[in-house]
Chains A and B, each alone.
Chain A
Amino acid sequence: MQARAFTAQQIACRRGDRILFAGLDLQLEAGGALHLVGPNGTGKTSLLRVLAGLLPPAAPCQIEWQGSLAYLDGRIALDEHLPLAEALRFWAALDKSPPPPLERLGLTRLADIPVRYLSTGQRKRAGLARLIGQQAEHWLLDEPLNGLDAEGTALVEALIAERRAAGGVVVVASHQPIALPGAQVIDLRNFPPPRRGGAGGEGSASDFRTAEPPPQPPTGEGL
């Protein structure tokens, strides 16, 4: 059938002393989508960052992407004092890609406005513009609907659908409902750390350490 676009095996993630989840296996075909759900603090963002290679996993694991990655979270990575179009131009120059379609994102009127004057929803749209401009194969989106109105939500859903139709994989962490037809839904609470103690449902680091020697996070190669 379709080509395997992404595989990851035995992902575990640690924040501070706490193991958030462990033993997570993921596989997605080209055009697939993954929706991470669950309450705050379950490790959705951490998982996204591990998948993006930005955060070392708690134990060595294999994460393989076929193609380039783009990542969007609450920080839009655009220079605050620059006009929006100019801030986006920096990334276009770095990615050697044409400037993103501002009109589609409803940002045409804001092109000359410094980024720091944008509203929450407008900032999100600006972040989406940077994401699209990167022209990466796969997208990792952390709460992409935060601060967006209904129209913006529909726009994000349409953009995701287009990316998937073009063969990209989209991983979305969102506690808000988002239309992702045919997406795998994963609740990280279903992947508790091994040998958790008591009824708490939270694995403490000491439990984990008795289970195996402290894993050495690999240094991020190529980062």
Chain B
Amino acid sequence: MSTFLTLLRRDLARLFSGGRGGALLPVLFFLAVAMLYPFAVGPDGPLLAKTGGGVLWVAALLAAILPLDRLIEPDLELGMFDQWALRGISEEGVVAVRVLAHWLSFGPPLMLAAVPASALVGIDGGKLATVEWGLLAGTPGLAALGVLVASITAGLRGGAALGGFLVMLLAVPLLIFGAGSLSTGGEAGLALTAAVSLVLLAITPFAGAAAIQSERG
């Protein structure tokens, strides 16, 4: 338990304050997109309200990509994974903790930022609730996907750019169900978003650990 807390504390410290804006940058990015969108589309209230939810989802997805190159690669370069392996701390455990830390660093902050962002794109009360539930269901999956792709692309030259691209492609199901729940207003979309998230959360520790083990050799 104490090993878990020690690892989590380090991950959170690194993600929240570790250079380049830390956890603030994804939030600012998310808000900036929400602010720019009305400028680009024009002051058409019904159109904004109809499409704004989807834009928020795309913004959340892109914001989750920003810390991608800080998730796994620095630790691989520093030899941290070797030291953890020597102490019997499995890569699976480290990756699972990292998913949790990554989610904490952008999931809840984005859910908070979604409130002003919804106002900017003209989304009102009921729909805002759907956006929030959708983000709650979808951001854990985005976090898992980010850590998984970061594990796979760590150590590759240009891995960050490739990683961002991969996350965008693999996040399509999350986006379809998450943003889809807005247009249908139904709980089915939210449930499917959560289901995709759960699958990603279940796969990531093992797939990520396998990738890291092969890169470590």
Give the interface of A toward B (CB within 8 A).
49, 52-56, 69-71, 73, 75-81, 90-91, 93-96, 130, 134, 136, 220, 222-223
Contacts and interface: CB of A to CB of B under 8 A. Distances in A.
Given A54-B82, A73-B79, A79 B90 contact: no
Given A54-B86, A93-B6, A222-B88, A80 B79 contact: no
A73 to B, nearest CB: 7
Nearest to A217: B217
A56 B18 CA distance: 33
A95 B89 CA distance: 11
Contact of A90 (B6, B79, B91): B6
Is chain A's interface secondary structure helix, strand, loop, or mixed overall?
loop
Interface string B181-217: 0000000000000000000000000000000010011
Nearest to A223: B85
Contacts of A75: 77-79, 82
B85 A220 contact: yes
B82 A71 contact: yes
B3 A94 contact: yes
A69 B19 contact: no
18 contacts: A53-B85, A53-B86, A54-B85, A69-B86, A71-B82, A71-B83, A73-B79, A76-B78, A79-B10, A80-B78, A81-B19, A90-B6, A91-B83, A93-B6, A94-B3, A95-B87, A220-B85, A223-B213
